[in-house]
Amino acid sequence: MSGDRQPYRILVIDDDPTTRLLLRKTLKDLGYQVSVASHGREGIAIATVEKPALIICDWMMPELDGLEVCRQIKQDQELSRSFFVLLTAKGELEDRIQGLDAGADEFLSKPIDPNELRARIQAGLRLYQLNQDLLKQKQLLEAELHEAAAYVRSLLPAPQDTPCKINYYFLPSSQLGGDCFDFFWMGDRYLVLYILDVSGHGLGAALPSVSVLNLLRSTTREQTSGTFDYLHPAQVLEALNNGFQMMDQHEKYFTIWYGVYDRQRRQLTYASGGHPPALLLTCAADQWQATSLKTPGIPIGMFADMVFSEVTIEVPDPAVLYLFSDGIYEFETTENRIWGLDAFKELLIAAHAQEPVPALPQLIRQVQSHAAVNAFGSDDVSLVQVAFQ
C-alpha cells in the first residue's frame, strides 16, 4: 500500500466462524481494515454502507450463497468496482466458469494458504486501485467535456423574433461532438445561416468546429473578403475546403449547410458539403409539404480544389426552414431500428398541420417519444427553426 493512502477496507463474508477469525487476523496483520459478516444478506448490507475495496466471500453458504452475493454486488453501480474473491473448495473448470459468469474477479481455494492469500489480495487491490484511478481520470475528462459544451453553447447566437423568428435546440452528447451553427443579419437585407458537424467526438471535434464558427463569424460581417463573396454559399464552401484540409486538421473533416436569405427578394441561396439537407416546410391549399434543400458536394477537407454548386429558390409565404444535424434522426427506436430522415420529415409535416410554427420543445418531445431509452442524445443534437415573416 502507498503511504499516502488510507489502508484498504476488506469485507469477509463466511458462515464459518473459524474461517472468519483466521481471515480477519491475517488481513489485520497485513495492515488492512477488516469487516466480517456471517451470512450473505449481512455482507451485502455492510458492503452497501462501507463500500469495501475488496470482498472475500465463501461460495457455499445457506440461504444466499456466494454466487448470488456476487451477482447482487456487481449489479450495484457503487459496489461493482469492489474486487470480488470467491472462497471455495471447488476446483472444476465448470465451477470457475460459473463463478466468472456471476461476476467474480478471483478465486481462493480452501484450505487457505497464507502466502496465496497475501498474493491474491495484493493483486486484487492493485487492480482495484487502477480502476479507481481510471474512474478519476474519466470524471476529470467528463468535467472538461461539460465545460467545453458550456463554452460551445455560450458561442451560439440568441434567438430572434424579428424580422424572422429564429429558435433552436442544442443538446451536446456526453462525449461532445462537433456540432455548431450560427445565424445573423448582414445589414437589413441578408440573413446568413449555417450549420456544421465535425467528424468524431470530444475536444478533437469541438475545437475545429469552434474554429470554423469563429472564422465565419469574423469574416462574414463584411460582404466580401479577398477574392470571394460571402453572400455566395458555394464560394464560402470552396474557401473553407481549401483552408481546412484533413491532412492539416488531424484527419478531421466536417459537413456543412450554408445559406443566405435575401429578405427583399424572398430568395434563399444555399450550398451543402456532405451535410443532411435542410427542410423547407411550405403550405399550399391547406396542405403542408417538406422540400429537401441539398446540393451535390462532399464533406469539407477531404479533397483539395473542390468545386461546390449553389441553388437559389423562391421562399413562399408561409414557410419555415429547418437546419439540423444527423443526431435529430439517427437514433435507435423502441422497435430496435434507426428512426431516419424520412420519419423526421413526416413528423414535421404532421406538426405543421397542427400549428403553423410548432414550438421546438413540443417537436423535440415528439421526436424523443420514438427513441429507445438513452438513445436520443447519444450524438450531438442540433435543430434550428427559421420562420420567414
| Whether 24 and 89 share a structural domain | yes
Instruction: Report which of 76, 33, 38, 77 is spatially closest to residue 57, judged by C-alpha positions.
Output: 38
pLDDT at 352: 97
d(CA 83, CA 95): 19
- Per DSSP, 298 falls in state P
Distances (CA, A) of 368 to 146, 176, 327, 332: 22, 19, 11, 11
Q: Cα angle vertex 51, ends 48, 52, to 5°?
A: 130
C-alpha cell at 325: 444535424
Q: Are 375 and 173 in contact (CB under 8 A)?
A: no
Q: Is residue 352 part of a domain?
A: yes
| Residue among 146, 158, 210, 195 nearest 381 (CA) | 195
Q: Look up cell 481471515; give the residue.
A: 23
Contacts of 57 (CB under 8 A, 6+ apart): 12, 13, 14, 40, 43, 66, 69, 70, 84, 85, 86, 87
For residue 219 the three cell numbers come to: 469574416
Q: Which domain holds residue 338?
A: 156-388
**Which CATH number characterizes residue 25's domain?**
3.40.50.2300
Q: Residues 238, 306: one domain? A: yes
164 & 257 share domain: yes
Residue 147 belongs to some domain of the structure: no
Together in a domain, 249 and 383:
yes
Both 132 and 160 in one domain: the answer is no
Q: Do the bridges between strand 165-171 and strand 381-388 make them parallel or antiparallel, or are there none, so unpaired?
A: antiparallel
Which region holds residue 200: left if phi is over 0, alpha if psi is between -120 and 50, else beta?
left
State how beta strands 165-171 and 106-109 pair.
Answer: unpaired
Instruction: Read off the C-alpha cell for 180.
Output: 455548431
What is the Cα–Cα distance from 156 to 158, expressed in whole angstroms?
7
CA distance 69 to 13: 9
Of the candidates 147, 129, 270, 249, the one whose C-alpha atom is nearest the C-alpha of residue 200 is 249
Looking at the structure, do residues 135 and 167 belong to the same domain, yes or no? no
**Is 165 found in the same domain as 104?**
no
> Which of 305, 312, 210 is CA-nearest to residue 254?
210
Please check whether residues 128 and 188 belong to one and the same domain.
Answer: no
- pLDDT per residue as tens, the chain (389 positions): 444 446 899 999 999 999 999 999 999 999 999 999 999 999 999 999 999 999 999 998 988 999 999 999 999 988 999 999 998 876 666 777 888 888 899 998 888 889 999 999 999 999 999 999 988 988 887 787 778 788 888 889 999 998 999 999 999 887 777 899 999 998 899 999 999 999 887 777 888 888 888 888 876 555 444 445 789 999 999 999 998 888 877 788 999 999 999 999 999 999 999 999 999 999 998 899 999 999 999 999 999 989 999 999 999 999 999 999 999 999 999 999 999 999 999 999 999 999 999 999 999 999 999 999 989 988 899 999 999 97
Q: Mapping DSSP to helix (H, G, I), strand (E, B) and coil, where does residue 205 land? A: helix
Q: Which of 140, 171, 189 is a domain's end point?
A: 140
Q: How much of the chain is helix, strand and coil, in % rounded to 5?
A: 35, 30, 35
274 shares a domain with 187: yes
Whole-number Å distance between alpha carbons of 83 and 87: 13
Most distant CA atoms of the chain, gap in Å = 91
Interaxial angle between packed helices 66-75 and 40-50, expressed in degrees from 0 to 180 and rounded to the nearest 10: 30
Contacts of 153 by beta carbon, 8 Å cutoff, 6+ apart: 170, 172
DSSP string, 320-352: EEEEE-GGGT-SBBTTSSB--HHHHHHHHHHHH
Same domain? 125 vs 166: no
Do 167 and 277 share a domain, yes or no? Answer: yes
State the CATH number of the domain containing residue 328.
Answer: 3.60.40.10
Q: How many domains does the chain have?
A: 2
179 and 92 within one domain? no
Question: What integer pLDDT is reported at residue 90 of this predicted model?
Answer: 66
